[in-house]
Amino acid sequence: MQNNQTRKPIEVKIATVVAVAIILNEAGIPELELALKEMTAGTPDFFDDEFAIIDIDAISGETLDWSALIALFKSFGLNTVAVRNAREQDHADIRSLGLSIDVVSKIRPESEAPPSHVAAAPQAQHIPAMVIDTPVRAGQRIYARGSDLIITASVNNGAEVIADGSIHIYAPLRGRALAGASGNINARIYALTMEPELVSIAGIYRTFEDGFPQLPAQHPVQIKLIGDSIEVSSLKSAA
């Protein structure tokens, strides 16, 4: 018989949870529903039960129907877990619905910089890239927090790979790849073969329902952000 005397009734451990940020520029439910329908193009599993943080900075002065908003996102496969940039007077109502208040630290302008006698903060520690040597299968999600992600095997349909830095895949990419997840607009995605369901850099995404762009064969592909658009190009070897 297994001895369970040392097993605790509950344990708490650090877990990596990735959530998409839903930035609202409108408060009306009909307008938001229409925008979601256009975004998902009728694909029922477009978001596939993603956790979501609602950012209302652009409309923080407007009154929101939180219950209707949460129900709307749920109908599109988004599970709201927190609200960002909410007014303090709305915190109680938000928490009453089981949501958390996501606090964002804002960068202080140079004019408000601390006096020179205050010691400078230590430099951020370098985080080595996360390396994955096995195929990433459908339903799996891998997140390289604070670093690049290097994968030497295929990323299959239904899989999702995420990195705060760039993503390097030395095999076919057929699932979803989200680089610059913490807002790094200079992050890129590289793969030997590109057949992705979705790619994203710094929250700007692109899908390929109409097929992937025609590129020269036998060349790796890179994806980067140009302004507000995702650019796909071939990495041709130098002649």
Mapping DSSP to helix (H, G, I), strand (E, B) and coil, where does residue 72 land? helix
The arrangement of strands across the sheet holding 100-102 comes to 19-23, 50-55, 78-84, 100-102
The DSSP code sequence of 155-200 is: B-TT-EEEESS-EEEEEEE-SEEEESTTS-TT--EEEEEE--SEEE
| Tens digits of residue pLDDT in 160-201 | 899 999 999 999 999 899 999 888 999 999 998 888 888 989
Which residue do the tokens 């952000």 mark?
A: 225
Q: Residue 202: pLDDT band by 50, 70, 90 thresholds?
A: confident
Q: Phi/psi at 18 (nearest 5 deg)?
A: -105, 130
Helix axis angle for 29-40 and 66-75, nearest 10°, is 20
pLDDT given for residue 193 in this prediction: 87
219-to-58, 114, 161, 191 alpha-carbon distances in Å = 42, 50, 22, 9
Residue 152 or residue 112, greater confidence: 152
| In the chain, where the domains are located | 19-104, 130-234
Look at strands 204-207 and 198-201 and give their pairing: antiparallel
Q: Residue 17: pLDDT band by 50, 70, 90 thresholds?
A: low
CATH architecture of 19-104: 2-Layer Sandwich (3.30)
CATH architecture of 130-234: 3 Solenoid (2.160)
